[in-house]
Chains A and B, each alone.
Chain A
Amino acid sequence: MSTAHVLLGLLAGGPRHGYDLKRAHDERLPRAKPLAYGQVYATLSRLERDGFVAESGQDRDGGPDRTSYELTDEGRGHLAAWLAAVDPPAPYVNSEIFNKVTVALLAAGIEQARDYLVAQRAAHMGRMRELTMAKSAPGASLGDVIAADYAIGHLEADLRWLQTTLARVAAMTTELPKDVTT
């Protein structure tokens, strides 16, 4: 799970409190799901157990959210290894859209798949327009722009796949395919 690595990355700049880490995470990854505090503390205690971070101090009031953490040498090495490691390029297809279209074609037929795709395409285009506006806004930071780029690139890939799939299916509609996946 990369939340742990993101936290290590945020600690590379110096010690931080859990609360601070949550805020920095949400700010740096503006298109990610915001972290829950519980998740931050759970992740920190796992990282501490594995020796990647260590407590570096307590504010006077004490309490878990007043404890600050810092990277250990081991943590620094672990982070560097993660940053250098090449990820397996898309080993599995894990997409709700892909699953739904496949199942619709199998179980409900082309009409159903098309109705879904028409609505999905409109939603994708709407989202692309929002993201495009967000990244062209005058005050957009580099973080905003690259996060929007990432999301737009994936929406674009989905749209291209939707369109190509339908063109393929359309070419086969004369004899309704029983199973388009084989």
Chain B
Amino acid sequence: MSERSALLSGIGIARSYGATPALRGVDLAVGAGEIVAVTGPSGCGKSTLLHCLAGILRTDSGTVTYRDQDIGLWSEAARSRLRRTEFGVLFQFGQLVPELTAVENVALPLLLAGSGRREARQVAAEWLDRLGVGELAEQRPGAMSGGQQQRCATARALVTQPRVLFADEPTGALDALTGEQVLGEIVRVVREQGTSVVLITHEASVAAYADREIVLRDGVLDPTGLGLGVGR
């Protein structure tokens, strides 16, 4: 993926938490419609990278470029608008609002983006259908299985038709078969929509759904994928 055609790219991203360096200069580029897996052992900096790319965390150094613009230069308000409109985020545990029904959860990003109530509900219901959980529209998350919750969370992440989906271990809490079904649905829908995906996982079988895989080790890219002699 050349820098020029990249939709989203990071160059030399570094980020520490206090004295702990989590990322020490990471480059990557994600093309339009491309699914890129980020793998590596626990604590190597995957989630930190995702937060930096999604504009949730500011980098200490390096730049994150989205559609040729350095989003590090943007105001907090502009970044927050970017996250609401162009990005979708999906975590390991759906993080649905427990007090709201499935359809209300999925409608939330549309309401935040200024849609009317009725329209938001209707679009949300269509997205639940698309993810195969239309019949759960009026259920609260507590009454759903993990797989059903992840399908709802996927609908919520995609309901605004973002250009980039950031998924952090989206099937990490599910059994193998349920995980595969949920992942299969996610991949099917993003391919239909042409959404780019940054897919974090530590499982090779999940990374195999991506077009490409990058491996992190101790906060740097590991070109060998094996974690020997890199950055040491």
A residues lining the B interface (CB < 8 Å): 114, 117-118, 121-122, 124-125, 128-129, 131-132, 136, 152, 155-156, 159-160, 162-163, 166-167, 169-170
Contact = CB atoms under 8 A, between A and B. Distances in A.
A177 to B, nearest CB: 14
Given A125-B213, A136-B184, A166 B205 contact: no
Nearest to A122: B225
A152 B203 CA distance: 12
B224 interface: yes
Nearest to A117: B226
Interface in B136-188: 184, 187
B19 interface: no
B205, B226, B227, B229, most chain A CB atoms within 10 A: B226
Given A125-B213, A136-B187, A118 B226 contact: yes
A156 B208 CA distance: 10
Given A136-B184, A136-B187, A121 B208 contact: no
A125 B226 contact: no
Interface residues of B, number: 16
A86 to B, nearest CB: 23
A155 to B, nearest CB: 8
Interface string B55-67: 0000000000000
B226 A128 contact: no
Interface in B179-232: 184, 187, 203-205, 207-210, 213, 224-229
B185 to A, nearest CB: 11
A61 B65 CA distance: 73
Nearest to B204: A159
Contact of B227 (A122, A128, A159, A167): A167
B207 A121 contact: no
B228 A125 contact: no
Contacts of B210: 129
B205 A125 contact: no
Main secondary structure of the interface of A (DSSP, over half): helix
B192 to A, nearest CB: 13
16 contacts: A114-B226, A114-B228, A118-B225, A118-B226, A121-B225, A121-B226, A124-B204, A125-B204, A125-B207, A125-B208, A129-B208, A132-B208, A152-B208, A156-B205, A166-B227, A170-B229
A166 B228 contact: yes
A31 to B, nearest CB: 16
Contacts of A169: 228
Given A125-B213, A132-B209, A162 B226 contact: yes
B60 to A, nearest CB: 28
The 7 closest A-B pairs by CB, nearest first: A128-B208, A132-B208, A118-B224, A159-B204, A129-B208, A166-B226, A170-B228
B179 to A, nearest CB: 13
Nearest to B232: A170
Nearest to A124: B204
Contacts of A159: 204
A131 to B, nearest CB: 8
A117, A122, A125, most chain B CB atoms within 10 A: A125
Contacts of A167: 227
A33 B209 CA distance: 26
Contacts of A132: 205, 208-209
A114 B209 contact: no
